[in-house]
Amino acid sequence: MPGYPALPEGIAYGGDYNPEQWPEEVWREDVRLMREAGVNLVSLGVFNWSMLEPAEGVYDFDRLDRIVELLHSWGIMINLATPTSSPPTWFRTAHPGARLVDREGHVIAGGTRHSFCPSSPEYATASQRLAERLAERYAGHPAIAMWHVHNEYGWANARCYCETSAEAFRDWLRERHGDVAALNAAWGTTFWGLTYGSFEEVEPPRLALPGQLTALQLDYARFSVEAHIANFRRERDTIRRFGDQPVTTNFMIANCVAMDYWRWADEVDVVSNDHYLEAARAENHIELAMAADLTRSVAGGRAWMLMEHSTGAVNWQPRNLAKRPGEMRRNSLAHVARGSDSVLFFQWRASRHGAEKFHSAMLPHAGTDSSLWRDVVALGADLRGLAGVRGSRVEAEVALVWDWESFWALELEWRPSVDLRFRERMDAYYEALWREHVTVDFAHPGADLSAYRMVVVPSSYLLTEAAGKNLRRYVEAGGHLVVSYFSGIVDENDAVHPGAHPGALRDVLGLSVEEFHPLPENGTVPVGDDGLTGRIWSERIRLAGARTVHAFTGGPDAGHPAVTRHELGAGTAWYVATALDPSPDRAPGVPEGFRAPGHAPGVPEGRRDSGDRGDLGDLGDLGDLGGPAGGTGTGTERDLRALLRAVLDQAGVSRPRGLPDTLELVRRGRYLFLINHGEEPVTVPEVSGTGMLDGAAYTGSATVPAGGVTVVEPAGDA
């Protein structure tokens, strides 16, 4: 299987290139300016199906041939797309059965991309046929570095509820459960007497009254992921018949709730990701870091590609804030620091037409006499300086457990509190560790965790028995585990593990929970004697081997354990029974857009961004972005960070001390990335080597200017 694309050398730089939107004379200006900016890779033809196949079975590759030759003659490598995320209008007309149907039974209209059913056999045939034509024609071309199949699977058509999908779902259920008795047992259909007599009786989880079977909803979410993966595989395997360039598709790792990217990981030759900042979120560079770490983890630690981000504002948030001076550079280099070997944008040249004309681009409407263009050219030079970084690995000593299935399950209706949200705790723990300058990996709960000194489980409501045992083995072998409340509660079918909560983790944590006491809206509860404050949650813990570290000192569980530790085998398992915040006076800035939509029935679907964008499903409202602003990160002893610091110390996790948390510090191989997000210069001690961006010699310390980035290559083998 091919790995990372061999070419271009160094760090790939460029973006989506959509020349079909422009007359040919513009193309010549494009390539000249691409060279000026140092662009060496473009994703070509992501949306050009109607150009290539203007009528069903009628092909016209003339313009694409000319573009490919032009780019080749200028030495620009191509990531050739199959444009199958946006079928032409003839496809809709000819194949009405392939139209997307939403949960409420609406047939989704055309006039935009993605409006097809992922289980449609007509779509399968048409997309494969086009992929075959493209691969046959271009796979041997020396300019083609790699393939970009489709665009963002599941962006807006994550789940379709039409009859074709229903049939495909029934086949999938037969495969998964064998017979209907097994399905009934797994789904617990004796509850409310919802027993099925045959697979034919099973409907997709279409719009229903409250209380729809949650196991049905989870299986539908799983089935839908597989439907998209099947579409990808079909195209990928077709392409592989003609060439051996790597094949990828661009993920939306931190933004698409509907895909399970652990399942996608092994399907692609190289993991690639699209990341867009939530502009209004305070300290959104922390969320960027999290997305990059998650992408690297899905890539199994191998180099990955940043396939899209933006030079400035996007067009789909309520207020599309431009990036601040230096922000595009900091964002780009933070992705590289965390394992990306490319910096690619959506898109090369700002469009004049259509939905995205107010989206930033490498070449803005304002043209080359603009600071944005000058920044783009300067970034190209920076990346040339970082060529040596390519392929080096980021090593992490701490892992956060992340499971999309648990995300889906937690955010279904009728949980003990609407404040139980996957990203709320995930972001809180990530942020606390980020402020401690600890680089983390993410891991599936069933993964081999033995390489990590410390493992954190911020939100694993759904945890299989096998995963619970995996965590137990990790601790017994000497690991340090931190588990947050409402984890290990249900199995893969959303059935409560037998006995007291948390069934999958009772023995690991050395405790059980007698009763949950979720707090009222905005309620808080005091913890311990040092001024810790919990939000969202309180519960009555019964110790069974664990010891109390802090007790609740008020609220429904006053006098009972709030934070515990359990020595087990050679390791320790900590448990935190309330929501501590990552820094004083600051709840994590989880945007509303990332929430399950108002806990309306249904597994969250689609990408969590603006409903204004026209995505399917309730996408929430980005108008209410962010938690309280602020976050000085002074690191008092009264927050989650202080608690984690104690575990980090006990686990022996190495990290720099005494640096402000406006400074992002990441080691990638032997290279040290220092990104200053603050407004003051920061001097980092014990730094010696050469500045890769500015050629400076550092002997003993490096001062990173406000808003600046320094990358240091240590002298010799250091």
Binding positions for ligand GAL, rule: CB under 6 A: 151-152, 274, 276, 308, 314, 346, 356, 359
- Which residue number, 114 or 565, has a Cβ lying nearer to ligand GAL? 114
Cα 119 to Cα 232: distance, rounded to the nearest angstrom: 12
Q: What are phi and psi of 354, to 5 degrees?
A: 85, -170
Q: How near is the Cβ of 254 to ligand GAL at its closest, in Å? A: 12
379 and 326 in contact (C-beta within 8 Å)?
Answer: no
- Which residue number, 18 or 120, has a Cβ lying nearer to ligand GAL? 18
Q: What are phi and psi of 137, to 5 degrees?
A: -80, -35
Q: How near is the Cβ of 310 to ligand GAL at its closest, in Å? A: 6
368 and 225 in contact (C-beta within 8 Å)?
Answer: no
First to last CA, the chain: 33
Catalytic residue among 226, 287, 308, 713: 308
- Which residue number, 314 or 532, has a Cβ lying nearer to ligand GAL? 314
Cα 153 to Cα 258: distance, rounded to the nearest angstrom: 10
Cis peptide bond upstream of 204, omega within 30: no
- Which residue number, 274 or 293, has a Cβ lying nearer to ligand GAL? 274
Is 308 an active-site residue? Answer: yes
Computed from CA positions of residues 83, 594, 293, 317, in that sequence, does the dihedral angle turn out positive or negative?
Answer: positive
Q: How near is the Cβ of 593 to ligand GAL at its closest, in Å? A: 14
Q: How near is the Cβ of 607 to ligand GAL at its closest, in Å? A: 7
Q: What are phi and psi of 127, to 5 degrees?
A: -70, -40
Catalytic residue among 53, 152, 278, 283: 152
Q: How near is the Cβ of 360 to ligand GAL at its closest, in Å? A: 9
Cα 490 to Cα 487: distance, rounded to the nearest angstrom: 8
Residue of 245, 261, 89 lying closest to 158 (CA atoms): 261
Contacts of 164 (CB under 8 A, 6+ apart): 97, 98, 117, 119, 120, 121
Provide the Cα torsion 113, 118, 122, 125; round to 10°: 90
Q: How near is the Cβ of 277 to ligand GAL at its closest, in Å? A: 10
Q: What are phi and psi of 176, to 5 degrees?
A: -75, -40
Amino acid identity at 555: G
Characterize the bridge pairing of strands 571-576 and 480-484. parallel
CA 712 to chain centre: 28
Largest Cα–Cα distance in the chain? Answer: 76
Q: How near is the Cβ of 270 to ligand GAL at its closest, in Å? A: 17
Is 25 an active-site residue? Answer: no
- Which residue number, 326 or 614, has a Cβ lying nearer to ligand GAL? 614
- Which residue number, 152 or 494, has a Cβ lying nearer to ligand GAL? 152
Q: How near is the Cβ of 110 to ligand GAL at its closest, in Å? A: 17
- Which residue number, 49 or 516, has a Cβ lying nearer to ligand GAL? 49
- Which residue number, 280 or 481, has a Cβ lying nearer to ligand GAL? 280
Q: How near is the Cβ of 257 to ligand GAL at its closest, in Å? A: 14
Kind plus residue range of the DSSP H or E element containing 27: helix 24-37
Residue of 65, 217, 220 lying closest to 137 (CA atoms): 65
Reduce the DSSP state of residue 398 to 3 states and report it.
Answer: strand
- Which residue number, 165 or 311, has a Cβ lying nearer to ligand GAL? 311
Cα 536 to Cα 520: distance, rounded to the nearest angstrom: 7
Closest CB to ligand GAL: residue number: 346
Looking at 487-617, list the stretches that DSSP marks H as alpha helix, in order from N- to C-terminal side. 506-509
Contacts of 464 (CB under 8 A, 6+ apart): 445, 446, 491, 492, 504
Residue of 238, 259, 83 lying closest to 155 (CA atoms): 259
Contacts of 648 (CB under 8 A, 6+ apart): 398, 436, 438, 454, 655
Catalytic residues: 152, 308
